[in-house]
Each structure stands twice: as structure tokens, then as C-alpha cells.
Amino acid sequence: MTKRVIIGGLLGGIMLFIWGSLAHIVLGLGNVGLKDLPNDPSVLTVLSSSISEPGMYFFPGLNLPANPTSEQRTAAMKDEDAKATTGPNGLLIIHPHGGGGFTGTRLLNEFLLNVVQAMLLAVLLAWAAPISGYLPRVAFVTVAGFFAALATNIQYWNWYGFPADYTLAYITNETVGFLVVGLVAGALVK
């Protein structure tokens, strides 16, 4: 049984990686909802001169001192809420000194992540002993993947304002990916 789980997880991970490549490169699901920054030379100049440390920035910020009191935190949250209601707000991930782009390391990281994801689902499938039949096993893995897609993407849409079309594209991408894992793992892990 362990051999089938390992093979099912490995092959499922490979298929998940292939699906992800097709979804991004051929179908364009990875770019749904993304837009170019208008007037980006000017904006990039301001960002470069304003932010020196890589990170994820939320704006408008709370601008709290170190170790704020509960009163300071409450006042800052009210102020931030008022600013966010009437003006620009968002989430910015920035690497001010470069380091982005499509690299072999990132591709390898994605592949390894996909194999680990498929392995974990193959293990879960093996532990779900009462599931008999190929289609119920495929459905089990697909629903587990759909759950994972909802758990992250809907929260990002709700709390950080990720675009709805981006959110739906990623939920679709991940759900179909785990359907592919289910097709492979469901055939091997019984």
C-alpha cells in the first residue's frame, strides 16, 4: 500500500505541475485579474525612493508606535478605516532591489510543492478506508483540493480585495489541478 501511495503522490504531483503549466501558459488562468500599473515609470520611481526593505505592505497603514496601548490601537484602526473607506487602499508586495521574475528556482519550488501536495492527498486517500470505487476516490481528492482553494482564495478576496475574476480563476485552477491528482491517485491508491 505504501508503494502505491508514494507512486500515486509522485505521479499526481507531476500531473499537477503539468496542469499548472498548461493553466498558466496555454489558458492564461495565472494572469486573470492582473493589470499593468498605470504610469508605472513614475510610480516605480516613487516606490524605489520610498521603500528600501522588501516585504508586504498594507495601506493606508496604522502608523502605530512600538508597543501601542489598546487606546492607540483602537484610534489607529478607526483612522485607517476612515482612510480606506474614502481613499486608495490595498496590499503591495515589493522587492525594491529586484529578485522577481520567472526563475528556475521558482519553477523547482512549484514542482516540489505540487509533489508534496499530491503526496499528502494520496496519504489522506489511503487513510480514508471506507471510500471504495474509483469515482468516489477521485471526488474525495477533488473536494479536498476545492476546500484548500476556498480556504485561501476567498479569504484573500474578502480581506485584501483580490479581484473576483482572479479569485475565481485560481479556485478553478486549483480545483481542476486536484481533479487531475484525483484521477491519478484514485487509480493507484485503493
For residue 9, give the nearest of 148, 106, 124 by alpha carbon: 124
* pLDDT given at position 1: 66
Q: Examine the pLDDT at 85 and tell me if it is beyond 90.
A: no
* pLDDT given at position 86: 87
Residue 89, all three cell numbers: 487602499
Q: Which residues contact 149 (CB under 8 A, 6 or more apart)?
A: 170, 171, 174, 175, 178
Cite the DSSP H helix spans in 22-103. Answer: 40-50, 70-86
> What pTM was estimated for this model as a whole?
0.82
Q: Per-residue pLDDT tens for 143-181?
A: 999 999 999 999 999 988 899 999 999 999 999 999 999
CA 41 to chain centre: 28
The pLDDT of 62-72, averaged and rounded, is 87
- Domain locations along the chain: 2-33+101-188, 55-94
* pLDDT given at position 62: 84
* pLDDT given at position 25: 92
* pLDDT given at position 97: 86
Q: How far apart are CA 9 and CA 115, in angstroms?
A: 7
Q: Per-residue pLDDT tens for 95-145?
A: 888 877 788 899 999 999 999 999 999 999 999 867 889 999 999 999 999
